[in-house]
């Protein structure tokens, strides 16, 4: 079963991460780009994003991936003995052709009337596993990661969310629809502050008037609470890759304690990582849409009053730049 194999692989990675206390997707983005297909230029989404996020981090951080046939077509060669990553694709076919379409590398996941939905698996290789690949071009981006996160915050504030500084730990208050976050100087770095803020924005997306996720009212320590934390963690990891923001040390330290609870959830439901990755993708799409629609505003709307001396680096800018996220 494809889902079983993928879930088992992620569980294995999480079990290994228990010793380090760090989720396997929380390693630094060395390229500053999310995984994409080097032939089509299309980014991977959902569970494929997560699978290849893990795969690329094991191969130097290069985000480019190709199937064996794509590499051959481009005049390249996958090195002998290299192991690729299995990604999936859902294909709708005529019901009578479903078994044939599934073959040995697929499975039928749904049937209705004369149509069937087939889950197909195929293997892709990282650019570092392919001879003849040109060096990774330097990413050209006219938006600073901090600006992108700030635009996400502005978009949620346009939607009624509040942002409150000066708290002892970061949190999202569902009842008040409010992100509470410590002052900037309490974080390891400005990147750490923005990464943490992005994680709390992922939680805020689940409010009833936004994506209305069912796990939002869960009690701390419960399985449902772990489900919501897993979604926010994946969504923030996805978004950090999209905007080129390094993982924040605060969130890495905070989520070390959650790994065992995530493992319990995944072991109890072998399809949960697929649901979580799909929800994380929806969160990314929602936050990106809100960021693109965010209205310009003064920095006082989002930033606490600066200390008089020395003058700190601006945290939230006065006007969001156009983004491609």
Give the model's pLDDT for residue 13.
86
Give the model's pLDDT for residue 139.
67
Rounded to the nearest integer, the mean pLDDT of the chain is: 83
Kindly state whether residue 286 falls inside one of the protein's structural domains.
Answer: yes
pLDDT grade for 21, boundaries at 50, 70 and 90: confident
Q: In the numeric block, which tokens belong to residue 243?
A: 């905007």
State whether 41 and 169 are in the same domain: no
Which has the closest alpha carbon to 240: 176, 87, 249?
249
State whether 244 and 297 are in the same domain: yes
Give the model's pLDDT for residue 27.
66
Which one of 131, 160, 175 terminates a domain? Answer: 131
State whether 115 and 235 are in the same domain: no
- DSSP assignment letter at 134: P
Which has the closest alpha carbon to 129: 77, 87, 88, 70?
77
Kindly state whether residue 139 falls inside one of the protein's structural domains.
Answer: no
Q: What is the DSSP string of 254-265?
A: HHGGGHHHHHHH
pLDDT, tens only, 170-181: 999 999 999 999
pLDDT, tens only, 267-285: 999 889 999 999 999 999 9
State whether 176 and 279 are in the same domain: yes
- Give the pTM: 0.82
Give the model's pLDDT for residue 255.
67
Give the model's pLDDT for residue 289.
94
- The total domain count for the chain is 2
Which has the closest alpha carbon to 292: 317, 323, 252, 246?
323
State whether 111 and 218 are in the same domain: no
For residue 161, give its domain range: 145-301
- DSSP assignment letter at 193: H
State whether 170 and 291 are in the same domain: yes
**Which of 260-264, 286-290, 307-311 bottoms out in mean pLDDT, i.e. has the lowest?**
307-311
Mean pLDDT of 76-88: 95
Which one of 106, 131, 156 terminates a domain? Answer: 131
State whether 153 and 253 are in the same domain: yes
Kindly state whether residue 306 falls inside one of the protein's structural domains.
Answer: no
pLDDT, tens only, 233-264: 999 989 988 888 877 777 677 666 778 888 89
Query: Does position 198 have pLDDT exceeding 80, yes or no?
Result: yes
């Amino acid at each position: 079963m494809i889902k079983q194999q993928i879930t088992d692989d992620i569980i294995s990675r999480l079990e290994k991460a228990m010793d380090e206390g760090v989720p396997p997707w929380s390693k630094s983005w060395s390229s500053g780009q999310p995984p994409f297909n080097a032939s089509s230029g299309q980014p991977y989404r959902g569970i494929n994003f997560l699978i290849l996020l893990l795969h690329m981090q094991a191969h130097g951080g290069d985000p480019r991936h190709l199937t064996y046939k794509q590499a051959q077509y481009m005049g390249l060669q996958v090195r002998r003995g290299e192991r690729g990553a299995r990604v999936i694709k859902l294909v709708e076919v005529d019901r009578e052709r479903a078994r044939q379409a599934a073959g040995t590398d697929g499975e039928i996941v749904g049937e209705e009337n004369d149509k069937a939905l087939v889950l197909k698996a195929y293997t892709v290789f990282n650019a570092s596993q392919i001879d003849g690949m040109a060096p990774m071009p330097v990413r050209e981006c006219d938006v600073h990661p901090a600006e992108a996160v700030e635009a996400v915050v502005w978009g949620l504030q346009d939607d009624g969310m509040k942002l409150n500084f000066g708290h002892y730990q970061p949190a999202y208050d569902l009842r008040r629809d409010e992100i509470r976050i410590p002052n900037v100087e309490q974080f390891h770095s400005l990147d750490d502050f923005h990464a943490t803020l992005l994680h709390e924005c992922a939680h805020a997306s689940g409010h009833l008037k936004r994506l209305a996720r069912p796990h939002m009212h869960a009690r701390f320590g419960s399985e449902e609470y772990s489900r919501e934390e897993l979604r926010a963690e994946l969504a923030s990891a996805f978004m950090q890759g999209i905007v080129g923001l390094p993982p924040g040390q605060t969130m890495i330290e905070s989520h070390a304690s959650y790994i065992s609870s995530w493992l319990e959830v995944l072991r109890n439901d072998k399809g949960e990582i697929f649901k979580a990755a799909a929800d994380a993708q929806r969160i990314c799409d929602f936050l990106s849409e809100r960021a693109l629609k965010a209205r310009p505003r003064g920095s006082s709307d989002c930033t606490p009053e600066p200390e008089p001396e020395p003058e700190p680096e601006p945290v939230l800018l006065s006007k969001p730049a156009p983004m491609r996220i």
